[in-house]
Chain A
């Protein structure tokens, strides 16, 4: 009899805790990012396709499916290191079959030469080019990721990729560059120190 009572008591307890746990599992569920999102988060979003995939998200999917982590030149070593940490693998050097790490650039259209063919608009992965058929086109500089994809299609070769110049607010307190900055300016100045 007492055995029976104990079984019932334990059974009831198990039921109660089961309900509580079940409720907690629903209520306090932690939304964990699926791995693809986490990888995509790390990739630089230049959308240049140098990795061999049509954009960062597809490459993130490929990495999740087991592709190498060293195919993204815009991200460079820093991205590879972060990816290695995330995936729990050893970082390896950038695969130069896909290109080399370069300074950040933006596209600029030499506007008086543009014939308005809209080819660059079709190539731009982030819709950073503005224009209409037979009208002059221009690049929205702060939206341009520097992916280089619009340069190739332009029939009159009027798109240049230029390195982003550091501004005082983006300058990294690199005192070695100071004299260079001054020299880059054409005004003759006395360099102190």
Chain B
């Protein structure tokens, strides 16, 4: 730790850009940001939803009753978007069944339940202290196999984000953490700055990018100091201190702040040569490559005045929220709400039996006094406050009208899908309209309509294909019958003409006998034709089944 360097260091606070809108909600990051990250005793069970990320789920590799090691793989990564899942600690697979998920719906999903045995027995680890002579594709594989997903936002598989083959101008490491209450990244930066920078260098190596912008909000002086010291005199990593304003940690907002460029609507940062990773992800990448440890745990902020012991904990993935609350001196009020995520973007948990997942950064148990439940929704008075604060320059009040009217075409024209659900509009709305709720609902409906439409299209194609096949089969059948009939006719004609030919050629066979033979041949032929037709029909009906 070289304090001199830290002090003298040029922080480069000259932020180029600015994003529109934004709000300044009370920060309330204390006391969580000033207390060291705790480790909790193991919970009685760990619940691991097979699908923790966007995309299809992997194939389960274990069975009930199996004994698993810490870090052992539980699911096979699916084809395109999947990420494997690992046992966060050693123990026994107690069940594979449907459990409520950490989703606002509380809908049950397939989950692997582990009873920890307390031994913390590690399986094989493939540490790779020096990755510089390893192929980049191999490193990407390792990141994928470690099950790492973006720990800041939507939980997109990190390896897939890294694998995009486009030249990068800057790699941005996001340590902004602008949402009130949450201090998980803050504490991680204070305590594990060197690991985060090591992870950043791995990301840099993988993306072959020689310019890193490391962004931290100016309300985290301790984290800034620690990261500055860890960067030391590495000129490729520039520390950028951004002014505190919500939501400056949003991907597109931060890009605008740091580079002055806007990511066009419907495009990815990648399209303008930028890639953003969260500090937690950088840390996880370091653990995965250098130590060979898959992603098994994350820092979760436990806060809110209904908790006696507020602060940050290392929570194993799959830890039931109830366990976290029990370990923090939880004094529930009468109508206690538990929020996963922060107060602006989080959602009220339907149950406290749901587990910590990769994107769980905060569990907030506020008292009613601290964070009153929203009042009744009043009519929009068209004050325009919402459009002033929208960081995506949308017209929230307009979107709200359209969402209520279910006018999906207009909603898309008003760029509903540019809304980052930051909640700034709902925060300032004097009529307490739960604006974001309407947008989430409308987005879900639009997506569903698209899904239904695609399905209908598919059904139409299959229906038409079937009609065509039936028609073709009918034609073939007719054709066969026609041929068989022709054959018979020919036979009969031959039969009729035989007696004449006999006299011509002077054949000795008696007429009666020759006619009988011809008739028999005709019969056999007809029978054969009928049999062939039948066989074909059978074949067709089984082929029909196999076709799909």
Give A residues with C-beta under 8 Å from B. Answer: 40, 43-47, 55-57, 118, 121-122, 125-133, 137, 140, 142-143, 145, 166-168, 170-175, 177-179, 181-182, 184-185, 187, 189-193
- A149 CB to closest chain B CB (Å) equals 12
A57 to B465, CA, bound (A): 13
Residues of chain B from 347 to 364 with CB closer than 8 A to chain A in the complex: 348-353
Chain A CB within 8 A of B531 CB: no
Tell me the minimal C-beta distance from A41 to chain B in angstroms: 9
A-B contact pairs, 15 of them (CB 8 A): A45-B457, A47-B459, A56-B460, A56-B463, A57-B463, A127-B465, A128-B462, A143-B548, A170-B444, A170-B448, A173-B444, A181-B350, A189-B352, A192-B351, A193-B348
Contact A173 B463 (CB under 8 A): no
Which residue of A40, A122, A127, A187 is within 8 Å of B547 (Cβ)?
A127
Given contacts A56-B460, A192-B337, A181 and B548 within 8 Å (CB-CB): no
Docked Cα-Cα span, A137 to B504, in Å, equals: 63
Are the C-beta atoms of B459 and A46 separated by less than 8 Å? yes
Select A192's contact among B352, B457, B545, beta carbons within 8 Å.
B352
CB distance from B453 to the nearest CB of A (A): 9
Q: Is the CB of A182 within 8 A of B351?
A: yes
How far is it, in angstroms, between the C-alpha of A133 and the C-alpha of B542 when the chains are bound? 6
Asked if B337 contacts A193 (CB within 8 A), the reply is yes
In the complex the two chains form, is A185's CB within 8 Å of B99's CB?
Answer: yes
Q: In the complex, are the beta carbons of A168 and B465 less than 8 A apart?
A: no
List residues of chain B with CB under 8 Å of any chain A CB. Answer: 98-101, 103-109, 322, 335-338, 348-353, 437, 440-441, 444-445, 448, 451-452, 455-460, 462-467, 538, 541-542, 544-548
Chain A proximity of B100: nearest CB distance (Å): 6
Residues of A within 8 A of B100 (CB): 181-182, 185, 187, 189
On whether the beta carbons of B107 and A133 are closer than 8 Å, the reply is no
Known: A47-B459, A122-B541. 4 other contacts (CB 8 A): A55-B463, A127-B462, A172-B445, A192-B352
Residues in A whose Cβ lies below 8 Å from that of B467? 55
Chain A residues in 8 Å Cβ range of B542? 118, 132-133
What chain A residues lie within 8 Å of B337 (beta carbons)? Answer: 192-193
Q: Tell me whether A173 and B465 are in contact (CB under 8 A).
A: no
Q: Are B463 and A121 in contact (CB under 8 A)?
A: no
Cα distance, A142 to B456, chains bound together (Å): 11
**Docked pose: A107 CA to B186 CA in angstroms:** 51
Q: In the complex, which of the residues B437, B458, B462, B466 contacts A173, with contact meaning CB atoms closer than 8 Å?
A: B437
Q: A168-B103, A172-B441, A187-B99 are in contact. Are A45 and B448 (CB under 8 A)?
A: no
When distances are taken between beta carbons in the complex, the residues of chain B under 8 Å from A122 are 541
Most central of A126, A140, A191 by chain B CB within 10 Å: A126
Cβ-defined contact, A40 with B460, below 8 A = yes
Of chain A, the residue at the smallest CB distance from B348 is A193
Q: Please determine whether A126 and B103 come into contact, CB atoms closer than 8 angstroms.
A: no
Residue pair A168, B107 in contact (C-beta under 8 Å): yes
Question: Whole-angstrom distance from the CB of A44 to the nearest CB of chain B?
Answer: 6
Q: Which residue of A lies closest to B332 (CB)?
A: A192
Q: How far is the CA of A191 from the CA of B444 in the complex (A)?
A: 24
A131 B545 Cβ-Cβ under 8 A: yes
Q: Given A47-B459, A185-B98, A127–B466 Cβ distance below 8 Å?
A: yes
CB distance from A112 to the nearest CB of B (A): 18
Q: Which residues of B contact A187 (CB under 8 A)?
A: 99-100, 353
CB distance from A80 to the nearest CB of B (A): 15
